[in-house]
Structure 1
Amino acid sequence: MSQPTLPRLPAPAPQPPDHIPSLPRPAQRPLARRVAGRVLDTLRTLAWVVPLSVLIWVWAEREQVAFEQNFTVPFTVETNAEDRSVRVLQNPADQNLVLELEGPRAGLDRVKELLSPGPGVRGGLRIFLPKEQLTLSQPQRDLSIAITAQVQQDPVFRNNAVSVTRVRPGSITVLIEQLVTRELDVVAAPDQARLLEKVEFTPPRVSVTLPQTLLEKAERDERNKVDGRLAVIADCSAILSRELGRRHEAEAPLRFPVNDERVILSTRTAKVAADIKRTELETYRIPSMAIWVQAPAAILKDREVAFNPLVVQNLDVSGPPAAVALLKPDPQTGASAFQPYAILRILPEDTRHDPNTEIRRRLTPRDIELPAGVSILNLDQEIVFRLVPRDGPGT
């Protein structure tokens, strides 16, 4: 029995292309909006990229390794040994080290700034010598000390990432001396003591600390002694310039007979009380003294004083020897302890004169500055002057 035959269905006809379903397309933004968005994105990126790049460049510049070949720096030697004196055995003007440095440029600049002396800045390196290193079997001895390692480890270099590759010289020689302390009397300078009486000092004695060898040297020289003994010398010139017949008090600077920076006094001044001896008056001729102009500021603001002569010459004075001695030049320096001068006093009424008019003014004793107790014997000096506008002709 044959199977029944099913009828064949015709194949579906192909759809035309315009009937193919299409996927939805995203909304298209206008071109201007797309460009503006990209520009804003770029600017946002640059806003943090550019500063970061600059910071990286600055950091790299500062951290770039640099070299300093011959950096000269002064140094001092310090110690914690209270009974020792330490001094470098070379000319103080040459007490410098020459360093070779390596490190970031910023670190090198900071090191040079810290080590260079300046206003209010001590500068320089400190070489520290512990007291255990300064042993003595005699009053003094020389000692050679290596300093390279100590310089390289100095915090000023380590804190700034700077390496010290070389130190010249690598060692120094120092003189170690035993320090001693003595109590010495305070006395007036011999040339002043003969002019004073009933002299009292407060304190009457001071402590002097100095190297033992220096003390022994000072004691051997009789020129350093007063009345056969070593003493601290007081400068009593502040009293000698005062009037006779009264007891005076003043501060007197103190000094050791030997001028040496290693000498330490427990006090630099003492109070002195004394009477000035009554002596015969002494005369003296002052060869020359300057003339100072004294005038109201309003006058000198737009005027200059042209005067003649410029100095007072051959002025004879008289007074106590101690006061007159202040006017005499020092044999070594050529300068006197008291600089006398004359004063040309300009008065407000002087401005009424024409600039070409010469004004004459005779000096009086009150116009001469001299030590107390000194009087003038032969003052006969006239000063001729003119008040000249500052923008006018000179003299």
Structure 2
Amino acid sequence: MEITGVSAVTVDVPLADLDEHLGIGPYVTNHGKLRSMERVLVRVDTDEGLSGWGEMRVFLSPEATESIIEDGVGPMIEGQSPFEIERLRRQVFVEYTNVDMFFAAVETACWDIVGKALDRPVYELLGGWTAPTQGTQQHRQSVDGDSTAPIEVPVAFCLGILSPEESRVKAREAHEAGFTVLKTKAGRDWRQDVERIRAMHDEVDGQLEFRLDPNQGWTLDQAVRVGAMLEDAGIYLQYMEQPIRVDAHRSLARLRQRLRQPIAPNEDTYISHNLQSLVEAGAMDVGVIDLTPAGGISGIRQQAAILEDAGVPFTHHCAFDLGIRTAAILHAFTGIPGFSLPPDSTYYGWEADIIERPFEVSNGCLPAPDGPGLGVSIDMAAIEEYRIT
């Protein structure tokens, strides 16, 4: 089997409004406000009629992202076998720049092809179900070995920056929908960040755990104040995600020494060699990793091995993922050893999806697909509806 072509198309799908059940738009962060999100969908074709799909966010512009994938990465791998994923990943190399993020969606599509060719789900190709059992419905087997029910993966509800009172409403909504963890953006006003967490904690009587993510938006002293004030209020976060700027590993280590709030680098993990540096500096309690900057499922497996060997718990980041990348994350989470905390997700917050059978969020969980490859079928009519021309 040989790869015959790589193509990309960009869609722009709106977010459900805040006043809708589990709606999250507009989604406000330290860097801007989102009412919709552009996603690049990547298809890899083969000479045996099998195609695989991947997904990534837009970088710089849809045209630039599509061009790098189609005109840059595609020609590097055409004529080669999609089964040789690790060799392809190491082959896609350009001096002076990191092309892993652009190869990631192509790599995911190759996993999809291999799974379809072998009639097995990607999680089995990764070694089988390894997800933690606590809080997770187990994958059940019938007498003849056929699966009868998919595993349900608990996910963290993600929320943009709102007022304390608006945050109360969404925290109660998330709790009533069965979520046990809520991640909220932060960083514009550290004092209000504290007030929002206190308001949400009070609204649900402490029944939610919280992740606080300012996207590098605090200085070291502000991060200390936030963590200490929450401690004084008896609120202990699941973690503070990338509270200060990247490449400040010694400062992260000092912050970790001063607070009892767990520290979780995210953007710092986008450069793979940083993981070892963070471990050696004692700068992380939790790792928040992402398969796109890692170069795909193979890359995230490599990062997971580093963190697991270091005894650092880790989870997966969310980048407003539609059904294709959501499926890839669920396969990675359940097939790669070491993931121990619910991955972030905004899947419930889309108005629509581009797969034929969108995932159903139930009791704060997403079902890991168990069909061949990624286990999702693409709705071409939906792609045309949301396509950017």
Using the size of structure 1 for normalisation, the TM-score is 0.16
Using the size of structure 2 for normalisation, the TM-score is 0.17
Structure with greater proportional helix content:
2
Structure with greater proportional strand content:
1
Question: Which of the pair has more CA radius of gyration?
Answer: 1
